[in-house]
A and B are shown apart, each in its own frame.
Chain A
Amino acid sequence: MVTLKINEHEIKVAEGTTILDAAKKLSINIPTLCNHQDLCVAGNCRVCVVEQKGARTLVAACAMPVAEGMEINTNSLKVRNARKHIVELLLSEHRADCTKCYKNQNCELQTLANEFSFGEHIFLDLVAGRPYEIDRSSPSFFKDDSKCIRCQRCVRTCSELQHVSAIAVANKGSHQKISSFHDRPMSHVVCTNCGQCVNRCPTGALVEKTYIDQVWDAIYDPEKHVVVQTAPAVRVALGEDLGFDPGVRVTGKMVAALRQLGFDSVLDTDFTADLTIVEEGTELLTRLKKVLVEGDQKVALPMFTSCSPGWIKFIEHKFPHMLPNLSTCKSPQQMFGALAKTFYAEKRGIDPSKVVSVSIMPCTAKKFEADRPEMRSSGYKDIDYVLTTRELAVMIKQAGINFLSLEDEKYDSIMGASTGAAVIFGATGGVMEAALRTAYEIITGRPVPFTNLDIVPVRGMEGVKEATIKIEGTKADWKFLEGAELKVAIAHGLVNANKLVKAVSTGKASYHFIEIMACPGGCLGGGGQPIPTNIEIRKKRMEAIYSEDTHMAIRKSHENPEVVAIYKEFLEEPNGHKSHKLLHTHYVKRESY
């Protein structure tokens, strides 16, 4: 332990603690910008400088470890002057069009400006009159360098959390900027559109590409029938942008709000999440059967899940030789889209060309996924618009809805029925757990041998998780699996995905089934979720998801009554002809720039 004094208060903290964290313990707030809990220390914005007695210069509180007998002043005149200068300098190279900015009132630089810089600016405006170009090439987000303050959070996110490094620091001095390989547009580099950088950008330099106006236009178009689907992770995070603490489930309020916004039918991605489980589970069992019974060596195992579009693009860029291992199932969003303009339109007697299909997703990569040329099997663009959780919150605010006081409402039918298995898709390990609940029961006729169906080993925030399930007492059709040990693994965050895929690809690890989600914590930590994000917030959202599961009447995908019905009325059988046409897809090899 180390004893030091901060603003005359003595405190004992563990060796290696930073001044910033020690101050936090004393409830002393030191402003920061480049610092982010999820990322390594950078110490480059210098907003957190404090005065250390006897030191020649000020020190960065985020980067400086405590030392015995240290005396720190976080608010001396010297500190205040420096901090004001630093905020002023940042503002001088930031195109501050706050009233027009998507991040207005949710901008860390703006907050600091409110505290340190009012009245006349001291320094020259370095961006006025300087030409700038916004990179709008990605279908998921905008990159506006004129608002960038070079804190490098995005760069650290892309390399440390995602192992993608689509963006990096280029040039030096006044020309320094965050750039891509040879300054290519973001749509032409390895970027997976995961939006984790968007989630951590303190300003409006990285924001999602928004489709709010297009959705309003569709809602007000009397010719159109606008259906909306909501992903599992949205319901446990939306509240954060509308006045609730993290971890509050707002499913019923969200449904009510969507109805008030004017959507013609408020439906649930959970329905196609359950459908995914049946399709993907069947695909896995078919692959296993082909390998184990028919000795077909061409069938690729382990099979990877394919729900996460960021992960799909990652493997297409980085491990294209592993593409046969990807499940051919579309993601729940895209299955929903394909069915909305076929099955749903047919059932409701609506001309599919009049159906506008909107999805609310915790994800920015879903915007890219919806734009993929493969995603038009209904004969139309399966998903017309993808909105993030944040965009939905904006719409709710625009409509003047008092979200806090809304009465809970239920999803419409058809395609609105959900199960606990579908809800947990939103958390890392959730798809695996849902798949096991169904697959085990198909094989043995009995529920998975875990108390309350909770498959605890696949849950939690560990980067890579593994589990083995012994299959015993199989039904006649599945005798070949008797006594077999089903080996599964789960990774979330692409840095972990990279480790796991590498281990599999080099033969260092062997599994049958692997779930991968591009974002830390799974979809609940998605790039389209409310800002800020950190491990505590993600844990709260995760608790909420599992609590939602526990509260559901049905908790197995294959028991979703609408899923049962759609096979009877429309799809006929899992992995059947219609399924293949509408619910499955293929992938493309991409260059790794």
Chain B
Amino acid sequence: MKNKGLTKVDLIFESTDVRKVMKKAFEMTSNEIIEQILESGLKGRGGAGFPTGLKWKYTAAEKEPEKYIVCNADEGEPGTFKDREILDKAAAKVYAGMAIAGKAMGARKGFIYLRGEYRFLLPQLYVELHKFHKLINEIGYDFSIEYRMGSGAYICGEESALFESIEGFRGEPRNKPPYPTVSGLFSKPTSINNVETLVTAMMIIEKGAGEYVKLGTKDSRGSKVFSISGDTPIPGIFELELGMTVQEFVNEFGDGDTKAVQVGGASGFCVPRKKFSETIIGFEGVPTGGSMKLFNSSRSMYNVLHNYLEFFTEESCGQCTPCRVGCQQLYKGIEMVKKGESKSTYLNELVKLADTMKVASKCGLGQSVGNAFRSIVENFREEIIY
């Protein structure tokens, strides 16, 4: 596999004439928009990586007259803060992206589910929203957006739990199927997309899919905004072309002593130094919603894992057995091993449990706890035990 090296780009935050892009989109047919997005190969930027074009296509195919486009701005993954920056700097593009998605699917109504801790952004977001509504009115297109606030639960970033939360219920994931594209918010066909996905989709309509596919790799097209934190001299938000290796990433952002990078937050994977050069950041290697956390040799990977498990133990909605109890068992289990109260071989049982959680949990939360667990335990076993 040929990697592309590390290239900084500036697409998400560059200034754009959103009026022009929206007008262009509104003149296209629904099919033409979806075709462009499909051709671009854009995958969801929230982390799960579902092809955005397909999501829109499925939603568009539903006969129901009432449909919704929901922007997931719950941004709860530990170490992710890029959506805040995008909303702060480029809210108009998010709104335009939603309008374009709405046009593609036949939705006249959009909701933005904003992370509770981002409430401070609301005044300026409303100013921008007011401008957007005025603009879309001038263009003569029927589409409006409303904000809904989260209340701090990580699980509400899971799409169906997010719908429950908007609908006024306890934020718990639903059984799937039916998928949101068939029965989502208020049981209507719904496309739910991450903040960055919507901006990227708008950009693709602006520049054309042909232009976009020039960036990235076959499985990971385009560029992506990364939230970089941990042991790095330059923490912050960076937009990078997809396809670099972890080594190239570390060369740029590491402090010279990086021993591991947690890619994709607490629900992502831990890449140890020995695998830096063989691991590509993207869907062919380790996917990420943007969170990149660097750890240098002063960090105890036991503490890192312990912290993640404490987080999951707290943030599991508690609905399904594998996740609710599994998280507690992993959390308490590594404590017992560390204290020497359980044998080190108990870690093997815990890895098997993490595998069960991956296949038997109801939603992505429980299914991904095993990612960090397995990758940290397998690569830093000594640090967990001793």
Contacts and interface: CB of A to CB of B under 8 A. Distances in A.
B362 A58 contact: no
Contact of B356 (A60, A81, A169, A175): A81
Given A58-B359, A85-B353, A174-B328, A44 B322 contact: no
A503 B320 CA distance: 38
Interface in A163-216: 168-169, 171-176
A86 B322 contact: yes
A588 interface: no
A82 interface: yes
B317 interface: yes
B352 interface: yes
Given A41-B175, A57-B367, A150-B324, A173 B353 contact: no
Interface string B135-162: 0000000000000000001010000000
Interface of A is mostly: loop
B328 to A, nearest CB: 5
B321 A89 contact: yes
Contacts of B318: 150, 169, 171-176
B327 interface: yes
A171 B153 CA distance: 10
B64 interface: no
B336 interface: yes
Interface residues of A, number: 37
Interface in A66-125: 78, 81-82, 85-86, 89-90, 92-93, 122-124
A172 B316 contact: yes
B313 A124 contact: no
A160 to B, nearest CB: 14
A117 B37 CA distance: 50
A45 B325 CA distance: 11
A535 interface: no
- Looking at A45, A124, A149, A172, the one whose CB has the most chain B CB atoms below 10 A away is A172
A124 B329 contact: yes
A126 interface: yes
Contacts of B321: 44-47, 86, 89-90, 149-150
A43 interface: yes
A65 interface: yes
B316 A173 contact: yes
Contacts of B327: 173-174
Given A44-B362, A58-B360, A60-B362, A89 B322 contact: yes
A24 to B, nearest CB: 19
Contacts of A173: 312-318, 324, 327
B170 interface: yes
Nearest to A124: B332
Contact of A122 (B322, B349, B359): B349
Given A44-B319, A46-B320, A85-B352, A126 B361 contact: no
B352 A81 contact: yes
A172 B359 contact: no
When A and B form their complex, which 5 residue pairs have the shortest distance between CB atoms, in order from nearest?
A176-B318, A89-B325, A63-B175, A85-B356, A43-B175
Given A57-B361, A85-B322, A89-B326, 11 more contacts: A57-B358, A60-B175, A64-B177, A65-B177, A81-B352, A123-B333, A124-B333, A172-B316, A173-B316, A174-B318, A176-B317
Interface of A: 41, 43-47, 49, 57-58, 60, 63-65, 78, 81-82, 85-86, 89-90, 92-93, 122-124, 126, 149-150, 152, 168-169, 171-176
